Amino acid sequence: MSVKANSAAMSFSVVLADEAATVSAGRKFGEALKQGAVVYLEGVLGAGKTTFCRGVLQAFGHSGAVKSPTYTLVEPYVLDIGTVYHFDLYRLGDPEELEYMGIRDYFQESAVCLVEWPVRGEGYLPCADIVATLSPLGDGRRLELQAINERGAAILILMS
């Protein structure tokens, strides 16, 4: 595990040996998101983005399954600890569709918005506070969390 911090950028990187490690990293990250955040999830299909989101949701008290909202685009989780919106924009045809679904209503200050395939919604999504990138590494995965702004940096500091 390594944390690099300087005034311009802050990032956090960790190797995840198996699925359980991805869930547990998500849970730890989720513990630091209680004030809300916009998180973009980057990585190829099968990289572990949804698995990581399951961990985040566990930190908010959700113990059930987490299905990819591939066709519905968003799955809301209204939990005692807070509200988490899980987006999967993989099948989004035109980013303008996000306007019709009232995308702005989801991005409340206090909510956690986890966005898989943010590139598909480019121009219609608020900026990320944190970009989480999952990449295949041997049989496991590598996770990098990058703070984009001060809010994101504060979250990474909470985690370290």
Ligand X SMILES: Nc1ncnc2c1ncn2[C@@H]1O[C@H](COP(=O)(O)OP(=O)(O)O)[C@@H](O)[C@H]1O
Q: Which residues in this chain contact ligand X in the complex, by CB under 6 A?
A: 16, 18-19, 21-22, 43, 45-51, 139-141
Q: Which does residue 22 touch among ligand X, Mg ion, none (CB within 5 to 8 A, set by kind)?
A: ligand X
- Residue 122 or residue 139: which is nearer to ligand X going by CB? 139
Q: What φ, ψ does residue 155 adopt, rounded to 5°? A: -65, -45
Q: How far is the CB of 23 from ligand X (least distance, A)?
A: 8
- Residue 75 or residue 116: which is nearer to Mg ion going by CB? 116
CA nearest neighbour of 143 among 35, 3, 38: 3
Q: Which does residue 19 touch among ligand X, Mg ion, none (CB within 5 to 8 A, set by kind)?
A: ligand X
Determine the residue with CB nearest Mg ion.
50
Report the C-alpha gap between 54 and 41 in whole angstroms: 13
Instruction: Give the SS3 label for residue 38.
Output: strand
Q: Which does residue 46 touch among Mg ion, ligand X, none (CB within 5 to 8 A, set by kind)?
A: ligand X
CA nearest neighbour of 42 among 32, 57, 52: 52
What tokens appear for 93 in the block?
């045809």
